[in-house]
Amino acid sequence: MRLGVIDIGSNTVHLLVVDAYPGAHPLPAFSHKIDLRLSENLTPEGLISDDTADRLVEFVRECLEIAEDHGVQDLFAFATSAMREAPNGDAVIARVRERTGVALEVLSGADESRVTFLAVRRWFGWSSGRLLVIDIGGGSLELAAGIDEDPDAAISLPLGAGRLTRERLVGDPPTAEETRAVRSYIRTTLARQVRPLLTAGAPDRAVGTSKTMRALARIAGAAPRDEGQFVPRELRRADLGTIVDKLKGLDAASRSALPGVSEARAQQMLAGALVAEAAMDLLGIDRLDICPWALREGLILRRLDHLGPE
């Protein structure tokens, strides 16, 4: 069957259409996205503006037309930190439903972490043993660890690369004082919360996922995207110090010239590198395997599990 999922994130809104069946590998069939920058286009009161809400409605309408054109049998939509934290998030969700008929599911941070963990578990399989998963998003950082498909520990922290850049790394490039301050903030915030992950047991495999992690691995020399999903990619803690030092001295335009770094995400790459480095340091991880699957794929897999065999 054909499934469609609309992912309303802090940076982009993304429609992914897949051919998916219970027990089978979901195959991407079509992708369509816009850089809505939901978390950046807020009013001074922190509200999602009417203009941004209208653009979201219009994009969801486009997604409905595309889904029909591509024979999608089941279309669902979800939103993450930017929507759940906006004071008028419920009103925007109601507007989308009223004007398009699409009901948005707003995921909690812990749910984001659990669903991403499911995707990583299915990608790497049971032979990976105990997993530790680090997922750096635009608005939040998700961490999970466990031996099964449902993690033993799953936490979400307000350490997304976009959020940190917007709130704490405003210079282009940021000053040395800004960088030191945000580094300290990341590490103290993480240190207060990592105990459940440390007590869950030493991982047999540590995994990084998200566009930020993939871009950091690419800067460190991992294979480019066009070589396909199945090429092993990794990110080593030893490389992150060099990457952080490089990014600190570059403005956004110069960062976008680095391998794997898009213009849209160049500004937030330093924050992402600082979060990755802190997480690996505090969790005692020397290497992360990079997983091409993340939250969207996890939601598709969960949907298939609930639908059951045709």
184 and 136 Cβ atoms separated by less than 8 Å: no
Average pLDDT, the chain: 94
pLDDT attached to residue 154:
97
Per-residue pLDDT band for 42 (boundaries 50, 70, 90) equals confident
Q: Where are the domains of the chain?
A: 2-106, 110-295
Please write the tens of the pLDDT for every residue from 200-251.
899 999 999 999 999 999 999 999 999 999 999 999 999 999 999 999 999 9
d(CA 224, CA 200): 34
- 68-72, 140-144, 145-149, 262-266: segment of lowest average pLDDT: 262-266
Q: Is 42 helix (H, G, I), strand (E, B) or coil?
A: strand
- Checking if the pLDDT of 155 tops 80, the result is yes
d(CA 179, CA 184): 9
pLDDT attached to residue 169:
96
- Which residue type sits at 11? N
193: tokens are 């919360």
- Cis before 224 (ω within 30): no
Q: Is 15 helix (H, G, I), strand (E, B) or coil?
A: strand
16 and 7 Cβ atoms separated by less than 8 Å: yes
60 and 67 Cβ atoms separated by less than 8 Å: no
d(CA 103, CA 75): 10
Residue whose C-alpha is closest to residue 269's, from 310, 298, 306, 240? 240
126: tokens are 């049971």
pLDDT attached to residue 308:
58
Q: How far is CA 125 from CA 114, 121, 196, 219, 278, in A?
A: 16, 5, 23, 27, 27
120 or 21, greater pLDDT: 120
29 and 20 Cβ atoms separated by less than 8 Å: no
Percent of the chain residues past pLDDT 90, beyond the cut: 89
CATH class of 2-106: alpha beta
- Tell me the longest C-alpha to C-alpha distance in the chain: 58
d(CA 133, CA 206): 6
pLDDT attached to residue 38:
87
- CATH entry, 110-295, from 1.20.120.1200, 1.10.10.60, 3.30.420.150, 3.40.190.10: 3.30.420.150
Overall average pLDDT of the 104-121 stretch:
96
257 and 266 Cβ atoms separated by less than 8 Å: no
Q: How far is CA 254 from CA 12, 21, 216, 246, in A?
A: 22, 43, 15, 10
d(CA 217, CA 290): 8
Please write the tens of the pLDDT for every residue from 156-202.
999 999 999 999 999 999 999 999 999 999 999 999 999 999 998 99
